[in-house]
Amino acid sequence: MSECCCGEKDIYLPELATITRMQHMNETELFLHLELDSGKELGHMPGQFVEVSVAGIGEAPISNTSSPTKSGFDLVVRKIGRVTNAIHAMKEGDKLGIRGPLGHGYPLEDMKGKDLVFICGGIGLVPQRSLINYVLDKPEDFGKVAILFGAASFEQRLYQDQLARWAQNDKVQLLETIDKPHPEWSGNVGVVTTIMNQIDIDLANAISLICGPPIMYKFVIMSLEQANVSNENIFVNLERRMKCGVGKCGHCQINHHYACQSGPVFRYSDLSDIPEAI
Protein backbone atom coordinates (compact mmCIF):
# COMPACT_ATOMS: atom_id res chain seq x y z
CA MET A 1 0.00 0.00 0.00
CA SER A 2 2.87 2.45 -0.25
CA GLU A 3 4.16 2.87 -3.79
CA CYS A 4 3.00 5.68 -6.01
CA CYS A 5 2.74 4.45 -9.58
CA CYS A 6 3.77 7.63 -11.32
CA GLY A 7 6.88 8.83 -9.52
CA GLU A 8 5.46 12.27 -8.92
CA LYS A 9 6.07 14.22 -5.74
CA ASP A 10 3.51 13.86 -2.94
CA ILE A 11 2.08 17.36 -2.61
CA TYR A 12 0.82 16.62 0.92
CA LEU A 13 4.04 15.24 2.37
CA PRO A 14 5.80 17.60 4.81
CA GLU A 15 9.57 17.74 5.04
CA LEU A 16 11.23 18.11 8.40
CA ALA A 17 12.62 21.35 9.74
CA THR A 18 14.33 22.01 13.06
CA ILE A 19 13.50 24.88 15.40
CA THR A 20 16.90 26.50 15.89
CA ARG A 21 15.71 29.54 17.83
CA MET A 22 12.51 30.50 19.59
CA GLN A 23 11.25 33.38 21.68
CA HIS A 24 7.93 34.04 23.36
CA MET A 25 6.98 37.54 22.20
CA ASN A 26 4.03 37.90 24.59
CA GLU A 27 1.41 35.59 26.09
CA THR A 28 0.03 34.43 22.78
CA GLU A 29 2.70 34.95 20.12
CA LEU A 30 5.75 32.74 19.65
CA PHE A 31 8.64 33.57 17.31
CA LEU A 32 10.41 30.60 15.65
CA HIS A 33 13.46 30.38 13.44
CA LEU A 34 13.58 27.18 11.41
CA GLU A 35 16.01 25.42 9.15
CA LEU A 36 15.11 22.62 6.77
CA ASP A 37 16.81 19.33 7.67
CA SER A 38 17.66 18.88 4.00
CA GLY A 39 20.04 21.85 4.33
CA LYS A 40 18.25 23.59 1.47
CA GLU A 41 16.69 27.04 1.63
CA LEU A 42 12.90 27.22 1.57
CA GLY A 43 13.10 29.54 -1.45
CA HIS A 44 10.05 31.62 -0.58
CA MET A 45 9.05 35.06 -1.78
CA PRO A 46 7.69 37.71 0.63
CA GLY A 47 3.99 37.09 1.28
CA GLN A 48 4.05 33.33 0.75
CA PHE A 49 3.14 30.89 3.51
CA VAL A 50 3.89 27.34 4.62
CA GLU A 51 1.74 24.55 6.04
CA VAL A 52 3.22 23.68 9.42
CA SER A 53 2.66 20.12 10.67
CA VAL A 54 2.72 18.71 14.13
CA ALA A 55 2.52 14.95 13.64
CA GLY A 56 -0.53 13.61 15.43
CA ILE A 57 -2.24 16.98 15.73
CA GLY A 58 -2.45 18.39 12.21
CA GLU A 59 -1.44 21.26 9.97
CA ALA A 60 -1.86 25.03 10.09
CA PRO A 61 -1.10 27.61 7.39
CA ILE A 62 1.45 30.11 8.73
CA SER A 63 2.99 33.08 6.92
CA ASN A 64 6.66 33.41 6.24
CA THR A 65 7.67 36.44 8.24
CA SER A 66 11.31 36.60 7.18
CA SER A 67 12.78 38.03 4.04
CA PRO A 68 14.29 35.47 1.65
CA THR A 69 17.44 37.59 1.80
CA LYS A 70 18.23 35.79 5.12
CA SER A 71 19.05 32.12 5.61
CA GLY A 72 16.51 29.79 7.22
CA PHE A 73 13.04 31.22 7.82
CA ASP A 74 11.00 32.79 10.60
CA LEU A 75 7.44 32.13 11.69
CA VAL A 76 5.30 33.78 14.34
CA VAL A 77 2.58 31.56 15.74
CA ARG A 78 -0.42 32.78 17.70
CA LYS A 79 -1.72 30.30 20.24
CA ILE A 80 -5.35 29.76 19.36
CA GLY A 81 -6.17 26.08 18.88
CA ARG A 82 -4.84 22.56 18.68
CA VAL A 83 -1.90 22.85 16.29
CA THR A 84 -0.79 26.27 17.49
CA ASN A 85 -0.95 25.16 21.15
CA ALA A 86 1.23 22.18 20.30
CA ILE A 87 3.77 24.43 18.60
CA HIS A 88 3.85 26.66 21.68
CA ALA A 89 4.70 23.63 23.81
CA MET A 90 7.83 22.87 21.74
CA LYS A 91 11.44 23.72 22.48
CA GLU A 92 14.56 24.51 20.49
CA GLY A 93 15.83 21.46 18.62
CA ASP A 94 12.31 20.05 18.13
CA LYS A 95 11.10 19.29 14.63
CA LEU A 96 8.13 20.55 12.66
CA GLY A 97 6.83 19.35 9.31
CA ILE A 98 6.85 22.00 6.59
CA ARG A 99 5.13 22.14 3.19
CA GLY A 100 5.82 25.05 0.96
CA PRO A 101 6.42 27.75 0.08
CA LEU A 102 2.75 28.01 -0.92
CA GLY A 103 0.58 30.66 -2.50
CA HIS A 104 1.22 33.83 -4.34
CA GLY A 105 3.21 36.53 -2.57
CA TYR A 106 3.69 40.24 -3.23
CA PRO A 107 4.36 41.22 -6.87
CA LEU A 108 7.82 42.71 -6.31
CA GLU A 109 8.29 43.84 -9.90
CA ASP A 110 5.25 46.12 -9.71
CA MET A 111 6.58 47.76 -6.56
CA LYS A 112 10.04 48.68 -7.81
CA GLY A 113 10.83 52.34 -7.28
CA LYS A 114 7.54 53.00 -5.47
CA ASP A 115 6.86 54.34 -1.98
CA LEU A 116 5.24 51.65 0.16
CA VAL A 117 2.67 52.04 2.92
CA PHE A 118 2.20 49.01 5.17
CA ILE A 119 -1.05 49.04 7.14
CA CYS A 120 -1.04 46.25 9.69
CA GLY A 121 -3.50 45.16 12.37
CA GLY A 122 -2.26 42.85 15.13
CA ILE A 123 -0.76 39.65 13.81
CA GLY A 124 -1.14 41.08 10.29
CA LEU A 125 2.29 42.59 10.89
CA VAL A 126 3.75 39.08 10.65
CA PRO A 127 3.40 38.42 6.89
CA GLN A 128 4.12 42.07 6.07
CA ARG A 129 7.48 41.82 7.87
CA SER A 130 8.73 39.48 5.14
CA LEU A 131 8.32 42.28 2.60
CA ILE A 132 9.36 45.16 4.89
CA ASN A 133 12.71 43.49 5.59
CA TYR A 134 13.13 42.54 1.94
CA VAL A 135 12.56 46.17 0.90
CA LEU A 136 14.92 47.53 3.55
CA ASP A 137 17.58 45.03 2.47
CA LYS A 138 17.36 46.38 -1.07
CA PRO A 139 16.96 50.12 -0.45
CA GLU A 140 18.02 51.06 -3.98
CA ASP A 141 15.05 49.23 -5.49
CA PHE A 142 12.23 50.90 -3.54
CA GLY A 143 11.15 54.36 -2.37
CA LYS A 144 10.15 55.46 1.11
CA VAL A 145 8.37 53.19 3.58
CA ALA A 146 5.59 53.94 6.06
CA ILE A 147 4.65 51.27 8.60
CA LEU A 148 1.35 51.67 10.42
CA PHE A 149 0.77 49.19 13.20
CA GLY A 150 -2.40 48.92 15.25
CA ALA A 151 -2.56 46.54 18.22
CA ALA A 152 -5.67 45.64 20.19
CA SER A 153 -3.93 46.39 23.50
CA PHE A 154 -0.62 47.60 24.91
CA GLU A 155 0.44 44.01 25.70
CA GLN A 156 -0.29 42.84 22.19
CA ARG A 157 2.21 45.14 20.48
CA LEU A 158 4.34 42.63 18.57
CA TYR A 159 7.96 42.85 17.54
CA GLN A 160 8.92 45.79 19.79
CA ASP A 161 12.67 45.37 19.09
CA GLN A 162 12.00 45.03 15.41
CA LEU A 163 9.77 48.12 15.35
CA ALA A 164 12.47 50.10 17.16
CA ARG A 165 15.05 49.04 14.56
CA TRP A 166 12.77 50.00 11.69
CA ALA A 167 12.10 53.39 13.33
CA GLN A 168 15.86 54.14 13.22
CA ASN A 169 16.00 53.63 9.46
CA ASP A 170 15.95 56.97 7.55
CA LYS A 171 13.65 55.51 4.92
CA VAL A 172 11.00 54.47 7.43
CA GLN A 173 8.14 56.35 9.04
CA LEU A 174 6.68 54.24 11.86
CA LEU A 175 3.22 55.03 13.23
CA GLU A 176 1.74 53.04 16.07
CA THR A 177 -1.63 52.96 17.76
CA ILE A 178 -3.45 50.81 20.30
CA ASP A 179 -7.20 50.32 20.47
CA LYS A 180 -7.58 50.79 24.24
CA PRO A 181 -5.73 53.33 26.45
CA HIS A 182 -3.00 52.09 28.82
CA PRO A 183 -1.19 53.99 31.62
CA GLU A 184 2.24 53.32 30.05
CA TRP A 185 1.16 54.40 26.58
CA SER A 186 1.47 58.03 25.50
CA GLY A 187 0.94 57.40 21.77
CA ASN A 188 -2.21 57.38 19.67
CA VAL A 189 -5.27 55.52 20.91
CA GLY A 190 -7.80 54.30 18.34
CA VAL A 191 -8.07 51.96 15.41
CA VAL A 192 -5.43 52.01 12.67
CA THR A 193 -7.45 54.32 10.41
CA THR A 194 -7.04 57.11 12.99
CA ILE A 195 -3.31 57.41 12.21
CA MET A 196 -3.58 57.25 8.43
CA ASN A 197 -3.70 61.06 8.11
CA GLN A 198 -0.19 61.26 9.62
CA ILE A 199 1.47 59.40 6.74
CA ASP A 200 4.21 61.56 5.13
CA ILE A 201 4.07 59.68 1.84
CA ASP A 202 1.89 60.84 -1.06
CA LEU A 203 -0.67 58.04 -0.79
CA ALA A 204 -2.14 58.50 -4.25
CA ASN A 205 1.21 57.60 -5.87
CA ALA A 206 2.26 54.91 -3.41
CA ILE A 207 1.47 51.24 -3.02
CA SER A 208 -0.60 50.39 0.05
CA LEU A 209 -0.44 46.93 1.59
CA ILE A 210 -3.04 45.82 4.11
CA CYS A 211 -3.03 42.84 6.46
CA GLY A 212 -5.03 42.42 9.63
CA PRO A 213 -8.20 40.96 11.12
CA PRO A 214 -11.11 40.49 8.68
CA ILE A 215 -13.04 43.51 10.01
CA MET A 216 -10.16 45.92 9.32
CA TYR A 217 -10.01 45.78 5.53
CA LYS A 218 -13.27 47.55 4.75
CA PHE A 219 -12.44 50.61 6.86
CA VAL A 220 -8.85 50.93 5.70
CA ILE A 221 -9.88 50.63 2.06
CA MET A 222 -12.55 53.31 2.56
CA SER A 223 -9.91 55.66 3.97
CA LEU A 224 -7.53 54.90 1.11
CA GLU A 225 -10.24 55.54 -1.45
CA GLN A 226 -10.92 58.91 0.20
CA ALA A 227 -7.21 59.66 -0.26
CA ASN A 228 -7.58 58.95 -4.00
CA VAL A 229 -5.62 55.71 -3.95
CA SER A 230 -6.63 53.59 -6.92
CA ASN A 231 -7.58 49.94 -6.43
CA GLU A 232 -4.62 48.87 -8.58
CA ASN A 233 -2.28 50.29 -5.92
CA ILE A 234 -3.84 48.45 -2.99
CA PHE A 235 -2.75 44.94 -2.00
CA VAL A 236 -4.57 42.89 0.60
CA ASN A 237 -3.36 39.76 2.34
CA LEU A 238 -6.41 37.58 3.00
CA GLU A 239 -6.71 34.78 5.51
CA ARG A 240 -9.11 31.95 4.83
CA ARG A 241 -9.47 28.46 6.20
CA MET A 242 -6.91 26.35 4.36
CA LYS A 243 -6.45 22.62 4.46
CA CYS A 244 -4.48 21.57 1.39
CA GLY A 245 -2.81 24.83 0.34
CA VAL A 246 -2.65 23.60 -3.27
CA GLY A 247 -6.08 24.30 -4.77
CA LYS A 248 -7.74 20.94 -4.11
CA CYS A 249 -9.69 20.90 -0.83
CA GLY A 250 -12.01 23.84 -1.59
CA HIS A 251 -11.80 25.41 1.86
CA CYS A 252 -10.13 28.69 0.99
CA GLN A 253 -12.44 29.79 -1.81
CA ILE A 254 -13.36 33.46 -2.09
CA ASN A 255 -16.11 33.15 -4.66
CA HIS A 256 -14.23 31.68 -7.61
CA HIS A 257 -10.74 32.59 -6.32
CA TYR A 258 -8.64 30.10 -4.38
CA ALA A 259 -6.85 32.09 -1.65
CA CYS A 260 -4.16 29.40 -1.40
CA GLN A 261 -3.27 29.69 -5.09
CA SER A 262 -4.08 33.17 -6.37
CA GLY A 263 -3.57 34.60 -2.85
CA PRO A 264 -3.07 35.12 0.02
CA VAL A 265 -1.86 38.43 -1.46
CA PHE A 266 -4.34 39.95 -3.89
CA ARG A 267 -4.36 43.18 -5.84
CA TYR A 268 -7.55 44.85 -4.69
CA SER A 269 -8.63 45.78 -8.22
CA ASP A 270 -8.82 42.02 -8.94
CA LEU A 271 -11.29 41.68 -6.08
CA SER A 272 -13.52 44.72 -6.43
CA ASP A 273 -16.38 42.67 -7.88
CA ILE A 274 -15.79 39.68 -5.59
CA PRO A 275 -18.42 40.00 -2.85
CA GLU A 276 -16.84 37.45 -0.47
CA ALA A 277 -13.45 39.17 -0.48
CA ILE A 278 -13.74 42.03 1.98
97 binds other proteins (CB under 8 A): yes
Smallest gap from residue 244 Cβ to other proteins (A): 7
Q: Provide the minimum distance between the beta carbon of 214 and other proteins in the complex, in angstroms, as a whole number.
A: 5
User: Footprint of ligand FES on residues 92-131 (CB under 6 A)?
Assistant: none
Measured CA to CA, the distance from residue 250 to residue 253 in angstroms comes to 6
**Minimum CB distance to other proteins, residue 1 (Å):** 6
Q: Give the nearest distance from C-beta 246 to other proteins in angstroms.
A: 5
CA 184, CA 198: separation in Å to the nearest integer? 22
143 binds ligand FES (CB under 6 A): no
The residue from 24, 138, 182, 241 that contacts other proteins (CB under 8 A) is 241
Identity (one letter) of the amino acid at 67? S
One residue of 72, 97, 143, 247 binding ligand FES per CB under 6 A: 247
Give whichever of 258 and 268 is closer to ligand FES, judged by the CB atom: 258
Residue with Cβ nearer other proteins (26 or 169): 26
The three state secondary structure string of the chain is CCCCCCCCCCCCCCEEEEEEEEEECCCCEEEEEEEECCCCCCCCCCCCEEEEEECCCEEEEEECCCCCCCCCEEEEEECCCHHHHHHHCCCCCCEEEEEEEECECCCHHHHCCCCEEEEEEHHHHHHHHHHHHHHHHCHHHCCCEEEEEEECCHHHCCCHHHHHHHHHCCCEEEEEEECCCCCCCCCEECCHHHHHHHCCCCHHHCEEEEECCCCHHHHHHHHHHHCCCCHHHEEEECCCCCCCCCCCCCCCEECCEECCCCCEEEEHHHCCCCCCCC
Residue 234 backbone phi and psi in degrees, to 5 = -115, 130
Residue 170 partner contact from ligand FAD, ligand FES, other proteins, none using kind-dependent CB cut-offs of 5 to 8 Å: none
- Site residues (CB under 6 A) for ligand FAD? 49, 58, 60-63, 76-78, 80-84, 123, 126, 239-243, 264
- The answer to whether 176 and 203 are in contact (CB under 8 A) is no
In angstroms, give the least distance from the CB of 84 to other proteins: 8
Site membership for other proteins, residue 248 (CB under 8 A): yes
Find the binder of other proteins among 28, 169, 223, 261 (CB under 8 A): 261
- Asked if 219 touches other proteins (CB under 8 A), the answer is no
Minimum gap (Å) between residue 4 Cβ and other proteins: 5
CB-nearer residue toward other proteins: 59 or 115: 59
To other proteins, the closest distance from the beta carbon of 45 in angstroms equals 17
Per CB under 6 A, 221 contacts ligand FES: no
Can you tell me which of 35, 108, 251, 274 binds ligand FES, judged by CB under 6 A?
Answer: 251
Best CA proximity match to 224, nearest among 180, 271, 268:
268
Interface residues with ligand FES (CB under 6 A) are 242-245, 247-252, 258, 260
